[in-house]
């Protein structure tokens, strides 16, 4: 596939390409251009023109364009799901979950745009610098930021594309997409459909290549007005530093090491089942997946035994007969997968080796391997680690992005909260308890952007302002946060009411 710059399918200016490989079976899928800095500059220059073209289209007409896109998306549904499944190495059911949300994110943000109506301030409510404001009309309006760079991660390329591109377009911005290097094909296909629906080619572009080069060129380009990025905390800090030097905004959804707290009064069967599902979805490659299982010592043995039984039942594999599986699984809406479904590979063998090394490191610190712990290529077997103590790295800041369940004991509520807050991350979390007051206390005291009481941390409603605290990010995404893709302008009509 090719990049889309200025509405044209484009190779890189030097002709270099990158292979896209199915991580589950090593099969070659396609190539993408390795963009040059010259290509990036061309896209930025186009975006300045494209933003004016896009914002000049009345909102009602822009909404019709998005509606056409949604129809095209449905027409190409099976093809898109098949491509995404293959380039991610995941199970079809997980891909379908992503697909089922993508269209409604776009239409939802367009609905939000119709309600972004600004303010008319009450005249004469205070004296003002000249002592005379009673006849002044003061309008508070929203304007587009300009050119927004959307940096999309590998773990949910459809859904997280939509959470970045949809609000940026709805607010009247031009967008340059930097898709994930390992699995960019789905995002290219969706971009093609948006252009086919009527989004101007200069207003939406997609530039492919390595994040360390193409992403860096985009973020450092002074023609870029804002960045929306999901990825690692390390990369996010670098982006924030660059953007701060020109006082430009960025929305960053970064790492997490979410706590799953089990109180002794809860139903342990329910807690174990929820814990299993909270981690196995997308082979553990979910930013808000529970990653630290903090369990009261009076029930830790029972919980661990039941968890291990469930984890041992998880099937790991990949069925390349994707088209047939699409027909079978189209009704699936559960991101944590359903019984009998495979969990697929990680995004690459490199990623699986990193998980393997992290598990080995945790065992070297004293954890006990109860099941799993083996890697085959890009696949990593579901793994439960017992005997994890709160001073180990995995109990604090070591985020394992794979199907691994570290179980940590505690004796008091205060200690559970202390362990949960002992991480530099604060993305999401959860607590399982029959005492709603206790659940509310824990939810308020754990330092995260979101907490779920009696459910797993894998919870993201499209309406909620989703984001993290501490080193898990800055800014929010969600249908109620469209203002983050705009800037405020005050327009004063002096003496207009006099």
| Cα 182 to Cα 189: distance, rounded to the nearest angstrom | 15
Q: Which of 84, 250, 276, 287 is catalytic?
A: 287
Task: Give whole-number Cα distances, 172 to 59, 104, 158, 169, in Å.
Answer: 9, 18, 21, 5
Contacts of 234 (CB under 8 A, 6+ apart): none
| 323: annotated active-site residue | no
Q: Residues 283, 402: contact at Cβ < 8 Å?
A: yes
Task: Give whole-number Cα distances, 320 to 173, 189, 324, 334, 342, in Å.
Answer: 39, 20, 9, 21, 12
| Cα 116 to Cα 141: distance, rounded to the nearest angstrom | 9
Burial of residue 30 (CB within 10 Å: 0-12, 13-18, 19+) is middle
Q: Within 10 A of 110 (CB to CB), how many other CB atoms are there?
A: 23
Dihedrals phi, psi of 456, to nearest 5 degrees: -75, 165
Burial of residue 213 (CB within 10 Å: 0-12, 13-18, 19+) is middle
| 329: annotated active-site residue | no
Q: Residues 447, 259: contact at Cβ < 8 Å?
A: no
* β-sheet bridge partners, residue 311: none
Q: Which of 87, 98, 253, 399 is catalytic?
A: 253
Catalytic annotation, residues? 253, 287
């Amino acid at each position: 596939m090719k990049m889309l710059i200025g509405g044209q399918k484009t190779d890189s200016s030097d002709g270099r390409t990158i292979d896209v490989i199915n991580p589950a079976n090593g099969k070659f899928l396609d190539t993408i251009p390795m963009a040059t800095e010259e290509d990036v500059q061309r896209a930025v220059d186009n975006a300045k023109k494209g933003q004016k073209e896009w914002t000049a289209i009345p909102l009602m007409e822009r909404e019709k364009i998005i509606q056409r896109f949604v129809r095209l998306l449905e027409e190409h549904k099976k093809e898109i799901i098949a491509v995404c499944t293959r380039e991610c190495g995941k199970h079809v059911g997980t891909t379908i979950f992503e697909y089922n949300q993508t269209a409604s994110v776009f239409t939802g943000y367009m609905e939000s745009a119709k309600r972004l109506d600004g303010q008319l301030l009450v005249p004469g409510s205070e004296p003002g610098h000249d002592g005379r404001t009673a006849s002044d009309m003061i309008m508070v309006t929203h304007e587009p930021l300009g050119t927004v760079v959307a940096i999309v991660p590998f773990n949910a390329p459809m859904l997280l594309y939509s959470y970045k591109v949809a609000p940026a377009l709805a607010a009247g911005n031009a967008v340059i997409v930097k898709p994930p290097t390992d699995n960019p094909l789905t995002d290219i296909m969706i971009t093609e459909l948006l252009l086919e629906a009527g989004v101007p080619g200069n207003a939406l572009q997609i530039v492919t290549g390595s994040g360390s080069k193409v992403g860096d060129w985009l973020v450092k380009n002074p023609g870029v007005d804002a960045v929306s990025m999901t990825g690692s905390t390390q990369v996010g800090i670098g982006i924030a530093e660059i953007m701060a030097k020109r006082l430009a905004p960025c929305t960053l959804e970064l790492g997490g090491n979410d706590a799953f707290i089990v109180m002794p009064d809860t139903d342990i069967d329910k807690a174990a089942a929820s814990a299993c599902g909270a981690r196995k979805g997308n082979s553990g490659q979910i930013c808000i997946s529970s990653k630290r299982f903090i369990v009261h010592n009076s029930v830790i043995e029972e919980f661990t035994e039941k968890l291990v039984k469930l984890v041992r039942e998880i099937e790991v594999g990949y069925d390349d007969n994707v088209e047939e599986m699409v027909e079978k699984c189209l009704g699936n809406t559960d991101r944590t997968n359903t019984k009998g479904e495979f969990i697929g590979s990680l995004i690459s063998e490199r990623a699986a080796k990193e998980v393997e090394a992290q598990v080995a490191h945790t065992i070297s610190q004293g954890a006990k391997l109860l099941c799993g712990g083996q890697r085959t290529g890009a696949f990593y077997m579901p793994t439960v680690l017992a005997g994890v103590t709160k001073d180990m790295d995995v109990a604090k800041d070591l985020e394992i992005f794979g199907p691994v369940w570290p179980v940590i004991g505690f004796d008091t509520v205060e200690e559970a909260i202390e362990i949960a807050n002992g991480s530099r991350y604060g993305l999401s979390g959860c607590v399982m308890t029959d005492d709603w007051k206790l659940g509310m206390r824990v939810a308020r005291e754990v330092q995260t952007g979101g907490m779920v009481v009696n459910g797993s941390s894998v919870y993201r409603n499209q309406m909620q302002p989703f984001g993290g605290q501490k080193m898990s990010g800055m800014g929010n995404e969600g249908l109620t946060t469209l203002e983050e893709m705009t800037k405020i302008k005050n327009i004063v009509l002096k003496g207009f009411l006099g």
